[in-house]
């Protein structure tokens, strides 16, 4: 399918050649080591609480001895599973109540079940595709009617919800499932694209996205990555008992080696409570402005003089166009105050943010505004301020992004961003400890022997 042509009508499209050419040498050097850290209560606990700093928990870990773990509650709940008489799948538009009624469960029982459950789990959170096991028996004296003895389901990988009949009523129970954390060290080389090479290494997409976000202040992923550059990650994953990936965990460390120059960043949570990534000397990767205020977009027109392919005249393009589907969220490039959130001539639906005395950013052709985005609203870096659209003079869905310095549009790529804040005092000392722990883990899990050649 051809890519949609999307650009500002006043700025003729120019094909921007991708810096990542299909490499002739398609061999990917894959060095990978993974250590299962099964049944370690400290880590398991740390991972149940996303807010906690799991690095601290990792420090005390010793390799697990096999056969040490207890039977999980989830297993106990499975005992007697033969009694489950039906499995239903929630379809789009279905409600739990509607589904139970379709099995002949009386209105009174449906009401009692939903009531019992709502203390621990909102049935509204159920999505289409959710499987629900039911335990039913024919109701006395009622042709098609059935009595519900119990139901159970797994609304997310970490939790089972079970409801059982208890006398005349129902009792609901949420059962925390035991997942098994694993630490993964990966080292790869860019041969096709970061995405393709990371996928070949089975790096979860969410982990890769965390890495791209953390580096996006310093690295222009559209232009700076070249075949032969390297990347390394140390990240956690959570697994089912049978080893299957249940969900990605935290990215602890990420490294890019661009043109032979390595940049390594460490995950750390300062006293402020805001988890972030820091360079080895304790400097936050977070800069005052994002270079790319949108995920996964392709630059369809860069900043600078553009020659119209048909009319032949040249015109200055004072922004960067990112082609992306309608509805793609757009982020505030930095902290600031919304100066304008309204239709603005050929820009269509338009948002402008004032960041400080000298910098503003502007976002044009939006399909709609983000929640609470209006003139005077304060925004945080990364907050959704609107969604990609094609309003105003535009030929297709894209974001037109401008950086305005002292009243003039400038090339977002050329501005010098101030370095991120450096940790101080107790935070810096805590970070240095965390960094040493991560370095020790990297050393211990250093990818060593396995080399897989991908053709």
The binding site for Zn ion (CB under 5 A) comprises 8, 11, 319, 321, 400
Q: Which is nearer to Zn ion, 365 or 435 (CB)?
A: 365
Q: Which is nearer to Zn ion, 229 or 321 (CB)?
A: 321
CB of 118 to Zn ion, least distance (A): 49
CB of 41 to Zn ion, least distance (A): 54
Q: Which is nearer to Zn ion, 392 or 420 (CB)?
A: 392
- E-strand spans in 15-145? 29-36, 86-89, 131-138
Q: In angstroms, rounded to a whole number, what is the distance separating the alpha carbons of residues 143 and 155?
A: 32
Q: Which is nearer to Zn ion, 255 or 321 (CB)?
A: 321
Give the tokens for residue 302. 């860069």
| Nearest C-alpha neighbor of 55 from the set 442, 438, 445 | 438
CB of 196 to Zn ion, least distance (A): 29
Q: What angle do CA 347, 303, 313 make, to 5 degrees?
A: 80
Q: Which is nearer to Zn ion, 8 or 351 (CB)?
A: 8
Give the tokens for residue 273. 């409570």
| Nearest C-alpha neighbor of 152 from the set 170, 138, 139, 137 | 170
Give the tokens for residue 419. 């370095």
Q: What angle do CA 56, 57, 59 make, to 5 degrees?
A: 70
- E-strand spans in 198-244? 230-239
Number of H helices, E strands in the chain: 8, 25
Q: Which is nearer to Zn ion, 150 or 319 (CB)?
A: 319
Q: Which is nearer to Zn ion, 241 or 308 (CB)?
A: 308
Q: Which residue has the tokens 């002739």?
A: 24
CB of 300 to Zn ion, least distance (A): 8
CB of 409 to Zn ion, least distance (A): 10
The residue nearest Zn ion at its CB is 8
CB of 317 to Zn ion, least distance (A): 6
CB of 303 to Zn ion, least distance (A): 9
Give the tokens for residue 88. 């239903």
Q: What angle do CA 365, 369, 373 make, to 5 degrees?
A: 130
- What Cα–Cα distance (Å) separates residue 164 from each residue in 150, 169, 170? 4, 9, 5
Q: Which is nearer to Zn ion, 215 or 303 (CB)?
A: 303
Pairing of strands 245-258, 131-138: unpaired
CB of 412 to Zn ion, least distance (A): 12
CB of 306 to Zn ion, least distance (A): 9
Q: Which is nearer to Zn ion, 178 or 390 (CB)?
A: 390
- Spatial neighbors of 1 by CB under 8 A, at least 6 apart, are none
Other beta carbons within 10 angstroms of residue 301's beta carbon come to 23
Contact call for residues 349 and 369 (beta carbons, < 8 A)? yes
CB of 213 to Zn ion, least distance (A): 24
Q: Which is nearer to Zn ion, 134 or 294 (CB)?
A: 294
Q: What are phi and psi of 62, to 5 degrees?
A: -115, 150
Contact call for residues 152 and 77 (beta carbons, < 8 A)? yes
Q: Which is nearer to Zn ion, 336 or 412 (CB)?
A: 412
Contact call for residues 110 and 100 (beta carbons, < 8 A)? yes
CB of 99 to Zn ion, least distance (A): 49
CB of 219 to Zn ion, least distance (A): 23
Number of alpha carbons in the 13 Å side-chain half-sphere of residue 298: 17
Q: Which is nearer to Zn ion, 146 or 292 (CB)?
A: 292
- What Cα–Cα distance (Å) separates residue 301 from each residue in 2, 35, 219, 364? 17, 45, 19, 14
- What Cα–Cα distance (Å) separates residue 14 from each residue in 257, 303, 305, 394, 406? 30, 11, 10, 15, 28
């Amino acid at each position: 399918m051809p890519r949609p042509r999307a650009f500002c009508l006043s700025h003729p499209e120019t094909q921007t050649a991708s810096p990542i050419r299909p490499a002739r040498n398609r061999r990917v050097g894959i060095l990978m080591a993974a250590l299962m850290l099964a049944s370690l209560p400290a880590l398991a606990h740390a991972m149940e609480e996303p807010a906690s700093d799991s690095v601290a928990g990792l420090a005390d870990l010793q390799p697990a001895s096999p056969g040490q773990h207890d039977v999980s509650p989830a297993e106990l709940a499975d005992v007697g599973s033969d009694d489950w008489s039906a499995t239903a799948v929630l379809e789009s538009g279905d409600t739990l109540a509607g589904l139970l009624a379709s099995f002949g469960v009386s209105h009174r029982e449906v009401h009692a079940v939903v009531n019992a459950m709502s203390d621990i789990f909102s049935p509204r959170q159920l999505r289409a595709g959710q499987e629900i096991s039911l335990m039913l028996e024919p109701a006395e004296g009622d042709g098609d009617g059935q009595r519900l003895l119990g139901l159970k389901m797994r609304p997310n990988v970490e939790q089972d919800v079970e409801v059982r009949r208890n006398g005349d009523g129902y009792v609901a129970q949420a059962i925390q499932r035991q997942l098994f954390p694993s630490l993964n060290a990966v080292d790869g080389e860019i041969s096709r694209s970061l995405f393709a090479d990371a996928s070949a290494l089975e790096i979860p997409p969410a982990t890769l996205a965390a890495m791209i976000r953390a580096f996006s202040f310093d690295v222009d992923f559209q232009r700076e990555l070249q075949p032969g550059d390297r990347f390394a990650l140390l990240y956690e994953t959570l697994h089912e008992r049978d080893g299957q990936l249940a969900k990605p965990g935290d990215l602890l460390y990420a490294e890019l080696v661009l043109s032979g120059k390595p940049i390594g960043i460490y995950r750390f949570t300062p006293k402020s409570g805001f988890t972030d990534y820091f360079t080895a000397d304790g400097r936050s990767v977070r800069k005052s402005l994002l270079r790319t205020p949108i995920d996964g977009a392709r630059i369809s027109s860069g900043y600078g003089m553009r020659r119209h392919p048909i009319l032949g005249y040249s015109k200055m393009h004072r922004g960067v166009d990112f082609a992306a589907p309608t509805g793609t969220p757009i982020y505030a490039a930095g902290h600031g105050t919304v100066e304008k959130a309204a239709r603005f001539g050929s820009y269509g639906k338009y948002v402008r943010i004032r960041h400080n005395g000298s910098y503003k950013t502007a976002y044009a052709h939006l399909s709609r505004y983000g929640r609470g985005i209006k003139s005077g609203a304060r925004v945080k870096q990364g907050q959704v301020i609107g969604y990609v659209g094609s309003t105003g003079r535009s030929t297709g869905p894209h974001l037109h992004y401008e950086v305005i310095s002292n009243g003039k549009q400038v090339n977002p790529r050329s501005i010098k961003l101030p370095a991120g804040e450096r940790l101080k005092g107790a935070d810096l000392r805590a970070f240095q400890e965390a960094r040493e722990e991560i370095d020790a883990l990297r050393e211990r899990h250093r990818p060593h022997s396995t080399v897989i050649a991908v053709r």
